[in-house]
Amino acid sequence: GAGVSQSPSNKVTEKGKDVELRCDPISGHTALYWYRQSLGQGLEFLIYFQGNSAPDKSGLPSDRFSAERTGGSVSTLTIQRTQQEDSAVYLCASSLVGVRDTQYFGPGTRLTVL
């Protein structure tokens, strides 16, 4: 079946603009993660959605970052007033239920802020 998809694959924006990144998880997966991967760094946790529970937003680096998940499926990560330090690859992953289940990652969105 289809894997996790993300769009756009690349996004170039100007400093100060808002961007929206989209994640389509695998159908039926209730858990969804967003991560940020900067050059030479590991993955940095951003936010976690599990079913209808309130999301864990503890990894969001500032209030310019927000995310939502509509209908328990598609998720959108929004970055307002982008800064150059926001440049990174943003990865989305989904899993069937919980942390012991395999996380399936999307190919990522490469964000470049000029």
Partner 1 sequence: AQSVTQPDIHITVSEGASLELRCNYSYGATPYLFWYVQSPGQGLQLLLKYFSGDTLVQGIKGFEAEFKRSQSSFNLRKPSVHWSDAAEYFCAVLSSGGSYIPTFGRGTSLIVHP
Q: Is 43 in the site for partner 1 (CB under 8 A)?
A: yes
Picking from 19, 29, 26, 23, the residue whose alpha carbon sits closest to that of residue 6 is 23
Picking from 88, 92, 103, the residue whose alpha carbon sits closest to that of residue 37 is 88
Choice from 50, 82, 86, 113 touching partner 1 (CB under 8 A): 50
Query: In angstroms, what is the minimal distance from the CB of 77 to partner 1?
Result: 15
Choice from 48, 69, 86, 88 touching partner 1 (CB under 8 A): 48
Q: Is 55 in the site for partner 1 (CB under 8 A)?
A: no
Peptide bond connecting 61 to the previous residue in cis, omega within 30 degrees of 0: no
How many angstroms separate the CA atoms of 42 and 8, rounded?
22
Choice from 42, 52, 54, 84 touching partner 1 (CB under 8 A): 42
How many angstroms separate the CA atoms of 100 and 43, rounded?
18
Question: Given the rule CB under 8 A, which residues bind partner 1?
Answer: 4, 31, 35, 40-45, 48, 50, 56, 58-59, 91, 93, 98-100, 102-108
